[in-house]
């Protein structure tokens, strides 16, 4: 909102907005709706299905493959061209389908917003759709409501608002209507304003709408997101890098063969052009884009089952490279609900689970001095008060019966100055005042204490012990509430704090905290063992953040200097932060701009950063991070739209599950790439040396058939291999990782050479030890045997590729059923071209004798044996 409404009075606000407490008329609301538009956040324009489809063809390998197909069609090989185009179109269609499916999953999450608001129009209270709110509308708020627009409070009654979505402050803020003199003041300190998407936790209020839609504070942050550069993921960088390498390889080899063939006068220009096309087809793994997409899509489905919804396919793999996970505290690391952990009663501090409070005055004070309300959705009210009720429910105390047996007569509401809240309860003999509040304030009004059912004077020793216990609990970041009561002889006509809240009998106190999720500590430990550094970035207080970080193992007790606040960050220049950011693991009391600075500082260290968040204040950092992780339950629409992944359960442990899946996805893509490129290198070398030696060479249809049948199906099946048991004990790959790391490039090289040597060896044997006297039949058999050997070698090599360095015999070799079927189907399709006479002419092959098949099979088996021997030596050398 442009106007500083916190500075002006209620009357000035109403006059400025040309409205009154009676509300707007129907004609005024229509006019303003036309002027300001609907109260919604503008979404970024989505791509149409056609645009999504066209985008699939921007990959460099796809473009080169399309050029090769066009040349093949021009040269007369229409069938080859059609098969290539079919592969390309199927890949594009699958990519479009998966993108649309991901968008639909996110659209479903958008149903979690507040649909309606109570307003006063024409001096009548009515309920309208929140999207129809306009500036000047008078709205009514109560506990449980989500504020639907930015508002200036007109009157309040004990109003408390949770503004964590906007400011990161997890504890509700006490609101009032008083004007504030300061012009420049943080959002969290504007106590007379309410903001869109924040939650009323206590009390009631009446307010005037001062801004809607994109003009709200939430809308301003949504606008900021458009100025954040889109991050390129490690997977996208690796694929682009791979495409460039292959493109250069394809052009260089094809040109070399074409030039040598023409200079040596081996064939006509057209025939050498077809040979060059054959080499291009052999060099390009045309199935790779489809394999990457399918592997990512399968990873997406697996993650969705584990509550991680993927908005962008590359994000699946990016998590696998993550080195830093910067997590919000409230709701992600913690349960986002205050919970009673400690109980102080009879001058003894005990764990809440072990405390005996049944039908005690402490129990009555917890239940009766409480404004929580029950609803179908659960308990509604201030988090500390709902925690007290929930604690009694968990202890099987009959809350409803206590409330019925001891009805409330009157109350003195909580206020931020005296920090107390009291109620007068009707009992059989005389009324009783029950009171709760801050320990120091309550003790000033206390003269006696209840110990084991007996009431005695409160001694200095008792007072010191209570205050010391309060200090210890507060040091552990527990929020402490104390309780007391006082029998009354009569109830004054005008109850007041001065008259009634004195001569109290102290009965105990409780320590509460928003506790860590039980599974998060193990998840943090697992992250550390995987070489990932977990960070906490929160708007909460330093002490609270430190306590939770210690409990979760994010920091150790000796690392309290690893905590820094937003105000301390402001004192650091960008260069100073970049050089010192790795000193800190907890960032407390931070603002949205701090979160962006922190993420960028880690990225400047060369780290891949995953950032989690649920609030509007998190959105810029979510978009800046290499991977943004939004919250599906508590997350705002802005934060979800800025994210790459949305957690349906808001749970940090789910991120670690997703990291494991991401690592598995990369490992499987890497296996597929090693398999494909070593196979294609074998094809290229075979063709190249066949050309150089003057031998007959494979026809484009033969090469493409091998690529489609023996390359694609097993490679896709490799994409769903189970994660290796040590995958979460390895260090993250990091920003500079590539598919060729970890010895993959050398493996591709020697395995491709081995494939070529074995295939050429079989061709040589067929020529030098012929089964026919006819020159044409000898070379036809040799070409067929080489064709069958190359295909069979790749089927055997697929088993080698199930583990890059590990022996295939150390794991369940046939555990991947899809892989088993892919080998069987590929083998049938490959050898059908030889065994079925009708296919012989199409694929230019001849039937083979049994002795010839034995030579072919020997070549295939040798591939499996030799690679396993090499991997054995590699493992021994690494050890």
Q: What sign for the dihedral angle of Cα 831, 834, 835, 838?
A: positive
Q: Is 328 a catalytic residue?
A: yes
Residue whose pair of structure tokens reads 């991050």 in the numeric block = 231
CA separation for the pair 713, 616 (Å, rounded): 44
Q: In this structure, are residues 149 and 209 in contact, taking their beta carbons and an 8 Å threshold?
A: yes
In DSSP terms, which residues pair with 141 in a beta bridge?
Answer: 205
Q: Which one of the listed residues 59, 80, 150, 328 is annotated catalytic?
A: 328
Query: Three-class SS of residue 609?
Result: strand
Helix (H) or strand (E) holding 764: helix 744-768
CA-based nearest residue to 169, from 328, 8, 387, 358: 328
Question: In this structure, how many other beta carbons lie within 10 angstroms of the beta carbon of residue 178?
Answer: 10
**What is the torsion angle, in degrees rounded to the nearest 10, for the CA atoms of residue 608, residue 612, residue 615 and residue 617?**
-20
Helices 269-283 and 234-263: crossing angle, nearest 10°? Answer: 160
Q: What sign for the dihedral angle of Cα 44, 45, 47, 51?
A: negative
Backbone angles phi, psi at 308, to 5 degrees: -115, 110
Angle at 722 between CA 721 and CA 723, to 5 degrees: 120
Q: In this structure, are residues 687 and 322 in contact, taking their beta carbons and an 8 Å threshold?
A: no
CA separation for the pair 706, 854 (Å, rounded): 20
Q: Extract the tokens encoding 349.
A: 């501090």
CA separation for the pair 612, 608 (Å, rounded): 13
Q: Extract the tokens encoding 522.
A: 């193990």
**What is the torsion angle, in degrees rounded to the nearest 10, for the CA atoms of residue 66, residue 67, residue 68 and residue 73?**
90
Helix, strand, coil content of the chain in percent (nearest 5): 55, 15, 30
Helix (H) or strand (E) holding 855: helix 850-878
Residue whose pair of structure tokens reads 């979160």 in the numeric block = 595
Helices 288-305 and 60-74: crossing angle, nearest 10°? Answer: 140
Helix (H) or strand (E) holding 449: strand 446-451
CA separation for the pair 300, 321 (Å, rounded): 16
Backbone angles phi, psi at 648, to 5 degrees: -70, -20
CA separation for the pair 787, 687 (Å, rounded): 11
- The counts of H helices and E strands in the chain are 32, 26
Burial zone of 333 (CB within 10 Å; 0-12 exposed, 13-18 middle, 19+ buried): buried
Q: In this structure, are residues 537 and 328 in contact, taking their beta carbons and an 8 Å threshold?
A: yes
The residues carrying an active-site annotation are 328
């Amino acid at each position: 909102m442009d106007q500083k409404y916190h500075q002006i009075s209620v009357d000035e606000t109403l006059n400025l907005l040309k409205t009154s407490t009676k509300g707007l008329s129907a004609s005024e609301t229509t006019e303003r709706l036309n002027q300001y538009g609907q109260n919604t956040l503008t979404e970024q324009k989505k791509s149409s299905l056609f645009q999504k489809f066209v985008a699939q063809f921007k990959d460099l390998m796809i473009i080169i493959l399309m050029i090769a197909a066009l040349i093949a069609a021009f040269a007369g090989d229409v069938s080859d061209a059609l098969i290539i185009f079919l592969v390309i179109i199927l890949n594009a269609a699958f990519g479009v389908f998966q993108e649309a499916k991901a968008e639909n999953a996110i659209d479903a999450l958008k149903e979690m917003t507040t649909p309606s608001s109570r307003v006063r129009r024409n001096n009548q209270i009515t309920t309208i759709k929140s999207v129809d709110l306009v500036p000047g509308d008078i709205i009514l708020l109560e506990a449980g409501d989500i504020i639907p627009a930015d508002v200036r409070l007109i009157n309040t009654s004990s109003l408390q608002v949770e503004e964590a979505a906007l400011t990161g402050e997890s504890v509700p803020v006490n609101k009032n209507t008083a004007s504030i003199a300061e012009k420049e003041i943080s959002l969290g300190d504007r106590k007379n304003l309410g903001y869109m998407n924040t939650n009323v936790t206590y009390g009631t209020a009446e307010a005037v709408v001062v801004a809607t839609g994109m003009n709200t504070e939430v809308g301003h942050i949504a606008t900021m997101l458009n100025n954040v550069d889109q991050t390129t993921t490690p997977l996208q960088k690796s694929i682009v890098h791979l495409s460039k390498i292959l493109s250069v390889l394809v052009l260089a080899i094809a040109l070399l063969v074409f030039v040598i063939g023409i200079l040596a006068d081996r064939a006509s220009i057209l025939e050498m052009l077809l040979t060059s096309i054959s080499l291009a087809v052999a060099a390009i793994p045309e199935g790779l884009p489809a394999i990457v997409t399918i592997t990512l899509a399968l990873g997406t489905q697996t993650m969705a089952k584990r509550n991680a919804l993927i908005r962008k396919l590359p994000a699946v793999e990016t998590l696998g490279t993550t080195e830093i996970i910067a997590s919000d505290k409230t709701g992600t690391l913690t349960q986002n609900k205050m919970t009673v952990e400690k109980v102080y009663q009879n001058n003894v501090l005990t764990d809440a689970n072990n405390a005996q409070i049944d039908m005690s005055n402490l129990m009555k004070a917890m239940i009766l001095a409480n404004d929580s309300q029950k609803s179908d959705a659960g308990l509604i009210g201030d988090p500390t008060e709902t925690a007290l009720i929930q604690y009694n429910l968990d202890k099987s105390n009959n809350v409803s019966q206590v409330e019925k047996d001891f009805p409330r007569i009157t109350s003195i509401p909580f206020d931020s100055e005296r920090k107390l809240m009291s109620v007068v309860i009707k009992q059989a003999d005389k009324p009783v005042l029950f009171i709760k509040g801050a320990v120091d304030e309550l003790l000033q009004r206390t003269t006696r204490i209840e110990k084991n059912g007996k009431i005695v004077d409160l001694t200095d020793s008792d007072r010191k012990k209570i205050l010391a216990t309060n200090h210890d609990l507060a040091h552990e970041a527990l929020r402490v509430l104390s309780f007391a009561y006082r029998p009354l002889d009569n109830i004054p006509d005008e109850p007041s704090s001065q008259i009634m809240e004195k001569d109290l009998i102290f009965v105990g106190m409780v320590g509460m905290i928003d506790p860590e999720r039980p599974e998060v500590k193990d998840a943090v430990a697992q992250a550390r063992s995987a070489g990932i550094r977990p960070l906490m970035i929160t708007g909460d207080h330093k002490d609270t953040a430190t306590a939770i970080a210690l409990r979760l193992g994010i920091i150790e007790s000796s690392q309290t200097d690893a905590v820094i606040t937003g105000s301390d960050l402001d004192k650091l220049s960008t260069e100073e932060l970049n050089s010192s950011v790795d000193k800190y693991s907890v960032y407390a009391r931070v603002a949205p701009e701090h979160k962006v600075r922190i993420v960028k500082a880690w990225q400047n260290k060369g780290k891949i950063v995953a950032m989690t968040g649920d609030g509007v204040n998190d959105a810029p950092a979510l978009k800046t991070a290499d991977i943004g992780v939004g919250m599906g339950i508590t997350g705002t629409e802005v934060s979800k739209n800025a994210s790459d992944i949305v957690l349906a359960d808001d749970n940090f442990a789910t991120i670690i599950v997703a990291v494991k899946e991401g690592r598995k996805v990369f490992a499987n893509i890497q296996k597929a790439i090693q398999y494909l490129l070593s196979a294609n290198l074998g094809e290229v070398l075979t063709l190249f040396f066949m050309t150089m030696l003057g031998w007959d060479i494979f026809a484009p249809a033969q090469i493409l058939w091998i690529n489609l049948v023996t390359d694609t199906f097993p490679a896709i099946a490799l994409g769903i291999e189970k994660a290796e048991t040590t995958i979460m004990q390895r260090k993250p790959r990091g920003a500079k990782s590539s598919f060729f790391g970890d010895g993959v490039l050398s493996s591709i090289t020697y395995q491709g050479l081995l494939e070529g040597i074995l295939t050429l060896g079989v061709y040589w044997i067929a020529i030098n030890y012929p089964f026919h006297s006819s020159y044409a039949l000898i070379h036809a058999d040799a070409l067929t045997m080489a064709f069958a050997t190359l295909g069979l070698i790749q089927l055997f090599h697929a088993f080698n590729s199930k583990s890059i360095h590990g022996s295939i015999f150390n794991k369940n070799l046939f555990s991947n059923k899809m892989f088993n079927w892919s080998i069987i189907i590929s083998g049938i399709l490959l050898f059908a071209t030889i065994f079925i006479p009708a296919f012989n002419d199409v694929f230019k092959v001849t039937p083979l004798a049994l002795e010839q098949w034995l030579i072919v099979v020997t070549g295939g088996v040798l591939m499996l044996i030799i690679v396993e021997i090499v991997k054995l030596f590699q493992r021994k050398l690494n050890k």
